[in-house]
Amino acid sequence: MHTNPRDPYQNRFRHSHTYIVLIDICKCANAKILVSYPYQIGSELVQLRTATLENSAIYINCGGEEVTINHKTYEQDSVNNGVSTFRLGTNWAVSSTGSFLDSSDKNNFIATAKNKLSMPNFELYKNARITPLSLTYFGLCLSNGNYSVKLHFSEIIFSDYNGHPSPGRRIFDVYIQGELVLKDFNIRDEANGSEKAIVKTFPAVVTRKTLEIRFHWAGRGTTTVPMSGSYGPLISAISVESAFEPPSKSKWFLIGITSAAISAAILLIFVAWKKGYFRCKEAIDTDLRGLETVSFSLRQILTATSNFSSSNKIGEGGFGSVYKGRLPDGTVIAVKQLSANSSQGNHEFINEIGMISALQHPNLVKLYGCCVEGNQLLLVYEYMENNSLARALYGPKQCQLKLDWSTRHKICVGIAKGLTYLHEESMIKIVHRDIKATNVLLDIDLNPKISDFGLAKLDEKGNTHISTRIVGTIGYMAPEYATRGYLTEKADVYSFGIVTLEIITGKYVSGYINKEKYHLLDMAYAAKEEGDLLSLVDKRLGVEYDQDEALGMISVAILCAHSSPLYRPSMSIALKMLTGETEIPDFVPDPYRFGENPYEMAASSGRNIQPFYIGKFGNDFREWESKTDCVSYDSESHSYLLASSAP
């Protein structure tokens, strides 16, 4: 068993190790299958996996040692994984992600029964593998066909005491081949008690030689009762058996496979040597294998995109060009490209994979996988037929789409749903930090999907976020974040308000009309004062829109884009306002009714922006006031913000 714990958030580019891609070779009578895995190797050592035949069965004792049950040997899986780990067995692999942050034993991912078990085949249940976030087992080099998957469970952590059930509730989801087979699964409820065995059997179809079984904590159940660090998916054993007669394997067939494996290994080492991998050139740390993403080869990507043909270029992403491609099975993909020479891009590349691989929602773009090879860093996404919301609204005329009002409202609601999921519903709470129309993509049915998570940041509840590195896009950044680095999910709410105004008006956040500079937020406040909010609606719609819905949508946009985060609603409340489930509150006056808010005006003109606390500086306020172009009170920080030309 090869163990290689990796943490993507401590990824480093270094000279001390070299990384190449080794291969498992599976052969059958009609086809040869290559399955790639990255491995860390020293400058003088290459670790080669033994070539393996196609398989038709897998038996794993999750969290335990090797054991034979009913003449079937369950392989050991007793290595205590790290926070983000990928490990390879004989014909299977396991990937786990997450850390028990609230536990004193935060890196223990093996559960052991406290009491003596009495159920049949108790050896399978006395240990189990547990994870706080996501655990995935892969069956490798399987013969294509129908299989029976048996998942063995027993709740050995939440034990009953003196006949009283434990208050702990373990709830998680199970996916097989990407399909949800168990939702809100509670082992103890299904087994009618703790320390009792329950076996769940499911059919599965293998079409590409691999099987994926994923256990996923969706944030439900107890987390600190009866103890910390005891939540998340728990699995005791897995058995996978074919529902067909496995093909026979002759002596000459075995010799042929062995020869092919040796030849491929020699060729691979030769190619690696020719490319300089053994001469300690700078290489990319493959900590990415700890994440649950498919690894594409550069050859696959080049074939799919016609060698990154300019005719396939569909745009620019957060850190590089984006190309359209097509895989051999017909799947259309979008490939985001970045040179590995960019240290900033490296960080965003790893961050984007780390964030989006843990997220699944209809209004978030789906990540298929990545490619780390040579000097290429590539992300492979689902292809969005209608490109970005920005291009649809105010891109080149030939690219603009005729979005009727109902479609615009649907897009706005979809973005709100995606942000609500990021802020409140996903297992890891995330602030996107770069919500804008170019980062909202539209599928063939004009459903919106939030993309570009390279700048996203984990939202650690209870902590004040003061960022020394301000990132985002001018015009969409919340004032408190743009000027003071104060970051909460309300920064995304502000950006959502601006994007909503763009959807309503069909205009970019700022620009020129008849040579006069405009800002959408300024236009919205002017329309509010004049009692003519409907004047904001895109003139291309004519009168074909729901006026009440438009008024509500405009009001929500203005509220979300309030200069003070205290007055902005959460995304879940904003969503309910848009769908009519919650009343929209009365208009809250905002002191910042400028073409641009005073933060940005001062910053762009080189003036200082300083918080002025009356209690701290007392009478000095008068002296500052005489030097100040703009004095505004910020209710969130309880301070006056002085945009001054004084040093």
* Residues recognised as catalytic: 434
Q: Which of 370, 376, 363, 277 is nearest to 22 (CA)?
A: 277
| Separation of alpha carbons 26 and 472, rounded Å | 46
Half-sphere exposure at residue 61, Cβ-oriented, CA atoms within 13 angstroms: 21
| Separation of alpha carbons 450 and 441, rounded Å | 6
Cβ atoms of 477 and 508 closer than 8 Å: no
Per DSSP, the three-state class of 229 is coil
Angle value at C-alpha 605, between 604 and 609, nearest 5 degrees: 80
CB atoms within 10 A of CB 544: 9
Write the DSSP symbol of residue 543.
T
Cβ atoms of 214 and 185 closer than 8 Å: no
> b/e per residue, 413-450, with b = 16+ CB within 10 A?
bbbbbbbbbbbeebbbbbbbbbbbbbbbbbeeebbbbb
Per DSSP, the three-state class of 500 is helix
| Separation of alpha carbons 88 and 1, rounded Å | 6
Whether 336 has a binding-site annotation, put simply, is yes
Per DSSP, the three-state class of 437 is helix
Q: Which residues contact 181 (CB under 8 A, 6 or more apart)?
A: 174, 175, 200, 202
Residue 373, strand partner residues = 376
| Separation of alpha carbons 100 and 424, rounded Å | 19
Q: Which of 11, 5, 4, 6 is nearest to 347 (CA)?
A: 11
**Tokens at residue 52, please?**
């393996």
Q: Which of 259, 244, 207 is nearest to 25 (CA)?
A: 259
| Separation of alpha carbons 27 and 256, rounded Å | 9
Binding residues for ATP: 336
Binding residues: 336
